Copies of this chain bind each other. A is one copy, B any other.
């Protein structure tokens, strides 16, 4: 598979929206309202973040991620990213490729660390992957995510310092 990761552009919005709405409407992994509409999705995923990327295979958008400061001011050296992969192309390394890309991108943008604020504890594929890519669970927020099928479940805060040691 030769996936290309590049900046998102207007012509990608339709495919991004398809991925976003499929994932968000399930209410199992993202703290966005399950009925988020197209315009709001574009605002959240493409306008608010600093940059948004897409993973493209054979001219098809199969994944997307955003990067933005997790907090402003004295917290702005830590970034936050969100990743989404088209359902039928999961388990093929797309999320992994995007996360590695985002870490390089973060350093290039001057960020020193990356934080995921609400990794749903039942999203075991994601947790396994983020751990493999160097993220630590720094804490667990009890019953902080209202899972559409399971009700209130825990969520993790995950964190990775990106700058090489000694710098």
Contact = CB atoms under 8 A, between A and B. Distances in A.
Interface string A145-161: 11110001001010101
A74 B147 contact: yes
Protomer copies: 2
Contacts of A140: 138-139
At the interface, is chain A mostly helix, strand, loop or mixed?
Answer: strand
Q: Determine the interface band of chain A, counting residues with CB < 8 A from chain B.
A: 35 or more
A32 B141 contact: no
Contacts of A34: 73-74
A139, A143, A146 — which one has the most chain B CB atoms within 10 A of its CB? A139
A77 B146 contact: yes
Interface in A73-92: 73-78
A113 B32 CA distance: 18
Contacts of A141: 78, 113, 115, 138, 157, 159
Nearest to A155: B75
A127 to B, nearest CB: 15
Contacts of A49: none
Given A143-B112, A144-B78, A144-B113, A73 B157 contact: no
A112 B24 CA distance: 22
Q: Which 8 A-B pairs have the closest CB atoms?
A: A139-B139, A31-B75, A138-B139, A31-B71, A33-B73, A74-B146, A32-B73, A78-B144
